[in-house]
Amino acid sequence: MSTQRPTRRGVMKAAAGLTATTALGAAGVLASASAAHAVGDGFGLRIVDRDERDPRMRYFRFATDAIGWDPGVNVLLPDGYHTGGRRYPVLYLFHGGGTGQDFITFDRMGIRAWTAGKPLIVVMPDGGAAGWYSNPVGSNVGPRNWETFHIAQLLPWVDANFRTYAEYDGRAVSGFSMGGFGALKYAAKYYGHFASVSSHSGPASLRRDAGLVTHWANLSSAAVELGGATVYGAPLWDEARVSADNPVQRVESYRNKRVFLAAGTSPDPVNWFDTVNETQVLAGQREFRGRLGAAGIGHEWHEVPGGHFVRPDLFQRDLDGIVARLRKA
């Protein structure tokens, strides 16, 4: 039986002199919205539902060729957004897997209170019940190209419709569980898009233990996302896709970024899913941390008691670090 241990924290300071890299969107340099700009369609997204009555939380649902249904997104604006003309950095925040997880997940958990007074826009999109923040090898239920939706469509749409910094130092990406994996993956594959990356109980190694995380991605996506098809291919994987998505194989892609990692050390011993899940997360993050350290890449890590669940205190600590790292509003 696992027993709880005292909190362990390790912090490696990022190297000085961070290099800013300008990110280009699908259509080149992105235009940012003016204070009076009305939110509209673009970048392959057509708004089919919206609610902009709340002064902070804006809701949109899109028709897009990338996804076979209409995914939603919540855009949480900072206090004072409507009374001034400042631009703001942006956090893309990704939910975990499961049929009850979607773009509203973090609003249910308290993201409005966590971000009160912080000069930051938070974008929370749908990612599918088991989309794994990927364009899958195949689908039997229509398109489920979540990577295309998030990177080629949503990201430039946000920069065009809100007062953001459309640049490397203007964006962060974070997530929980499957969303933590998505954050690590996107930060590596799209190096110039995100200056900060955070993974809360997200797997960082796809190939360890005979590829247990890759098998889980395939099984879960086949069961609830792709109608029997898989993210990475079965019975044989698309090895190039696995390597491209695997954080431990992309270590150099995290250089000059703020990296934040969190995992639990004592999952519920009577909950099989919790035990296997967080045990694998912890082992993978330790492997990833070891490679980052060997490469001299700064990172902040937290191992804390408990299993596979959201920890609001660590999310709030992470938010403070994100605001400190990104370009100021």
Residue 49 annotated as catalytic: no
Interatomic CA distance for residues 70 and 61, integer angstroms: 6
To which H or E segment does residue 212 belong?
Answer: helix 208-224
Distance of CA 127 to the CA centre of its chain: 9
The answer to whether 45 touches 153, Cβ cutoff 8 Å, is yes
- Quick one: tokens of 5? 């241990």
Catalytic residue among 70, 107, 268, 274: 274
Q: How many CA atoms lie within 13 A of 58 on its CB side?
A: 19
The answer to whether 160 touches 31, Cβ cutoff 8 Å, is yes
Round the CA-based radius of gyration of the chain to a whole number and report it. 19
Interatomic CA distance for residues 97 and 84, integer angstroms: 37
Residue 308 annotated as catalytic: yes
Interatomic CA distance for residues 151 and 143, integer angstroms: 16
Residue type, 121: I
Inter-helix orientation angle 208-224/272-294, to 10°: 130
The answer to whether 154 touches 123, Cβ cutoff 8 Å, is yes
- Quick one: tokens of 247? 């954080």
Neighbours of 220 (CB within 10 A): 20
Catalytic residue among 177, 196, 199, 205: 177
Catalytic residue among 199, 220, 308, 318: 308
Indicate which residues carry an active-site annotation. Answer: 177, 274, 308
